[in-house]
């Protein structure tokens, strides 16, 4: 992977044929759908992709399937988060062999690491995995809070290519942009769909937006308008993003987002309304 990741990175849903088995045909269909809609990169096996809920065998099958289906049309980022640093490294090496362009990992969370251990974890992965590495700050799920100073230290590690920040802390994100935004090898990506335009306007590189599974053209258009500073175009597109977000319910939770996205994607004929065990789908 050369240069920065910029634009809309879709955290791809993982199509399933059963609660334990991926659906390769639907995965190829979904990948074609989001690429046709103008997304700039694809992120698999993240939170939206139910990555940690899948078996190691199915994770590997999905990485290989997606690498073949993407075929170099856009960068492919593979999620390798888990409870074991060694297992994450092994999955990262598999992703490299399968043709992924980068890997993304949150910190191990069952035994939550302190700040020094968080930095040590990313040093370990950067050394063990022969791909650019993105740190993933997702405190609502990991229950691990990565402070601004810790993220800054992680971004200084050779081999770390950026951060996917889903904390929703705009002031911390602004500080990261002020310090690292001009570096050619560091991408700063925000998580919540509704914050993409704002974070791009402040100098961020793009958004990791679950809604792009359903409406990729909406999100790619929003990014392009925000990147060129076209406030008149951003306004109505942002309103549509906020309206789409109502499918997630209130309060918004990660399981609720996955259920809503899979329900709507099933209605569109993109995949089956099946979630990884033990999660249960919403009725169509």
Look at residues 256, 172, 169 and name the one whose alpha carbon lies nearest to residue 210.
256
Please give the helix or strand (H or E) that residue 215 lies within, else none: none
Q: What is the DSSP string of 216-265?
A: HHHHHHHHHHHHTT-HHHHHHHHHHHHHHGGGG-SS--HHHHHHHHHHHH
Q: How far apart are CA 21 and CA 275, in angstroms?
A: 10
Task: Check if the beta carbon of residue 201 is closer than 8 Å to that of residue 21.
Answer: no
d(CA 35, CA 91): 25
Q: What residue segments make up the domains of the chain, in order of their start?
A: 7-267
Cβ of 1: how many Cβ atoms within 10 Å? 16
pLDDT under 70 in the chain at which residues?
A: 1-2
Q: Which residues contact 231 (CB under 8 A, 6 or more apart)?
A: none
pTM of the model: 0.97
Catalytic position from the list 4, 122, 164, 223: 164
The reply, when asked if residue 208 is annotated as ligand binding, is yes
Distance CA 143, CA 218 (A): 31
CATH of 7-267, one of 3.90.550.10, 3.90.79.10, 3.20.20.70, 3.40.50.2300: 3.20.20.70
Active site residue 164: yes
25's CB contacts (< 8 A; 6+ apart) are none
Q: Token digits for 249? A: 């319910």
Residue 51's pLDDT is 96
pLDDT at 138: 87
Residue 88 CB-density burial (10 A; 0-12 exposed, 13-18 middle, 19+ buried): buried
- Residue 48 known to bind ligand: yes
What gap in Å lies between CA 266 and CA 271, rounded to an integer? 5
Cβ–Cβ < 8 Å for 208, 190: yes
Among 122, 136, 223, 248, which one carries the catalytic annotation? 136
**Residues paired with 208 in a beta bridge:** 9
What is the separation, in whole angstroms, between the first and last Cα of the chain?
A: 39
């Amino acid at each position: 992977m050369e240069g920065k990741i910029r634009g809309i990175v879709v955290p791809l849903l993982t199509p399933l044929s059963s609660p334990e088995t991926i659906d390769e045909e639907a995965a190829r269909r979904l990948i074609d759908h989001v690429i046709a809609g103008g997304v700039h990169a694809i992120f698999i096996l993240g939170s939206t992709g139910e990555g940690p809920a899948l078996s190691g065998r199915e994770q590997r099958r999905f990485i290989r399937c997606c690498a073949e289906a993407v075929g170099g049309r856009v960068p492919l980022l593979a999620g390798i988060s888990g409870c074991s640093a060694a297992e994450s490294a092994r999955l990262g090496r598999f992703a490299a062999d399968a043709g992924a362009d980068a890997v993304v990992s949150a910190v191990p969370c069952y035994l939550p690491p302190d700040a020094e251990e968080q930095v040590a974890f990313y040093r370990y992965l950067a050394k063990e995995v022969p791909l650019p590495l993105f740190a993933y700050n997702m405190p609502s799920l990991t229950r691990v809070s990565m402070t601004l100073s810790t993220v800054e230290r992680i971004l200084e590690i050779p081999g770390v290519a950026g951060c996917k920040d889903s904390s929703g802390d705009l002031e911390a994100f602004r500080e990261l942009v002020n310090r690292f935004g001009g570096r050619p090898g560091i991408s700063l990506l925000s998580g919540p769909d509704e914050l993409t335009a704002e974070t791009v306007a402040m100098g961020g590189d793009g958004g990791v937006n679950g809604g792009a599974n359903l409406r990729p053209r909406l999100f790619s258009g929003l990014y392009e308008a925000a990147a060129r500073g076209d406030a008149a175009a951003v306004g109505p597109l942002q309103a549509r993003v906020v309206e789409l977000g109502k499918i997630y319910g209130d309060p918004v939770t990660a399981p609720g987002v996955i259920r809503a996205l899979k329900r709507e994607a099933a209605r569109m004929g993109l995949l089956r309304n099946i979630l990884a065990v033990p999660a249960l789908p919403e009725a169509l």
